[in-house]
């Protein structure tokens, strides 16, 4: 059994919260720069230039890329040979979020009671945490600060198996079209297909953690990612919705086996500040 102190998890989490919010990953930065080359609309190009400059200012001056420094979302793969000392995983992660958001001058965007009082918790906790127990003695922490504007443009639909590929395409493209400029395009579109009502939403979220440029490992689904991406860009919505050819930078699909009666589908949208980081401890 490997012994691991909760403080080690907290230290990593605090550092990840700050880093992810200030330094946009090279995968997304490259996609933005590539889209500047291919964009046809002058207004769209102007927006992309501002976004690239924004990434550079954030890095050089240590300013968060976006003022919405997000809901702290974690996927943890916990090696079953690791024993955590001095606290629970949840406490350790939340302690890291608390410290990272305070020390990093990040915005605290979480309210406690979602309906009535909506009082800010003051430290951006609690985080949303998904945990998988895996073989081995390592811990992998993946983190994304998820902005509210793009998160609001998300949906789950319980399609019928007979709806087939066309049903998935229609659902996603129509949904993204309705979202239009709201989720800060160019967007990254996370799609879940399969599983249950709850599982498919998590799949769509997980799809947003995949580096831009990587495809689904199954070539059939990789091809579907491309079809949907082209259809979305053909809507003409463009950067920030001002019109253009770059509405989305990428479409990522995650899949899971399905019940014989179901074909669940989910869309989770990320803005161009598609921030994600991982650490293996």
Partner 1 sequence: MEPKRIQAPLTDEVMISLKSGDNVLISGVIYTARDAAHKKLVELMDKGESLPIDLNGQIIYYVGPTPAKPGQAIGSAGPTTSGRMDAYTLRMLEKGMKACIGKGLRSQAVKDALQKHKGVYLAAVGGAGALLSKKIKKSEVVAYPELGPEAIRRLEVEDFPATVINDTCGNDLYEEGAKKYAR
Please tell me the total number of residues recorded for the chain in this structure.
Answer: 281
Q: Would you give the DSSP letter of residue 169? A: H
Quick one: which of 30, 108, 199, 279 contacts partner 1 (CB under 8 A)? 108
Q: How far is the CB of 65 from partner 1 (least distance, A)?
A: 6
d(CA 36, CA 29): 11
CB 48 within 8 A of CB 234: no
Verify binding: residue 69, partner 1, rule CB under 8 A.
yes
C-alpha closest to that of 16 among 123, 138, 82, 100: 100
Closer residue to partner 1 in complex, CB, 195/241:
241
Would you count residue 47 as binding partner 1 (CB under 8 A)?
yes
Q: Give the 3-state secondary structure of residue 277.
A: strand
- The residues near 199 (Cβ < 8 Å, ≥ 6 apart) are 192, 256, 264
Binding-site string for partner 1 from residue 124 to residue 153, where x marks contact by CB under 8 A and - marks none = -----------------------xxx--x-
Please work out, in degrees rounded to the nearest 5, the angle formed at the alpha carbon of residue 156 by the alpha carbons of 150 and 65: 15
Using CB under 8 A as the binding rule, whether residue 182 contacts partner 1 is answered as yes
Q: How far apart are CA 132 and CA 105, in angstroms?
A: 31
Q: How far is the CB of 24 from partner 1 (least distance, A)?
A: 10
**Residue 159 engages partner 1 in binding (rule: CB under 8 A):** no
Our finding on whether 53 is near partner 1 (CB under 8 A) is: yes
Cis before 186 (ω within 30): yes
Of positions 15, 30, 36, 41, contacts partner 1 by CB under 8 A = 41
Q: Which of 66, 97, 127, 189 binds partner 1 (CB under 8 A)?
A: 66
Choice between 46 and 163, CB closer to partner 1: 46
Interface residues toward partner 1, by CB under 8 A: 40-41, 43-44, 46-47, 50-51, 53-55, 57-58, 61-69, 105-109, 118, 120, 122, 147-149, 152, 180-184, 234-238, 240-245, 271-273
């Amino acid at each position: 059994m490997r012994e691991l102190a909760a403080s080690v998890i907290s230290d990593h989490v605090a550092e990840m919260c700050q880093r992810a919010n200030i330094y946009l990953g090279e995968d997304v930065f490259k996609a933005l720069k590539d889209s500047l080359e291919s964009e046809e609309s002058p207004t769209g190009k102007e927006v992309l230039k501002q976004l690239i400059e924004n990434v550079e200012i954030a890095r050089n001056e240590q300013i968060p890329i976006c003022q919405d420094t997000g809901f702290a979302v974690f996927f943890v793969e916990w090696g079953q040979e690791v024993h955590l000392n001095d606290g629970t995983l949840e406490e350790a992660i939340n302690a890291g979020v608390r410290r990272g958001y305070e020390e990093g001058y990040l915005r605290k965007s979480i309210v406690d009671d979602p309906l009535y009082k909506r009082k800010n918790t003051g430290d951006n906790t609690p985080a949303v945490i998904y945990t998988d127990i895996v073989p081995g003695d390592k811990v992998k922490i993946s983190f994304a600060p998820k902005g509210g504007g793009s998160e609001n443009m998300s949906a789950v639909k319980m399609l019928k198996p007979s709806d087939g590929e066309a049903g998935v395409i229609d659902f996603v493209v129509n949904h993204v079209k309705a979202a239009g400029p709201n989720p800060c395009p160019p967007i990254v579109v996370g799609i879940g297909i399969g599983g249950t009502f709850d599982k498919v939403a998590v799949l769509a979220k997980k799809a947003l953690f995949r580096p831009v440029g990587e495809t689904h490992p199954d070539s059939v689904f990789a091809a579907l990612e491309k079809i949907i991406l082209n259809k979305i860009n053909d809507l003409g919505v463009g950067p920030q919705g001002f019109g253009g050819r770059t509405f989305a930078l990428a479409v990522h699909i995650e899949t899971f086996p399905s019940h014989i009666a179901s074909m669940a589908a989910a869309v989770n949208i990320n803005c161009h500040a598609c921030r994600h980081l991982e650490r293996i401890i």
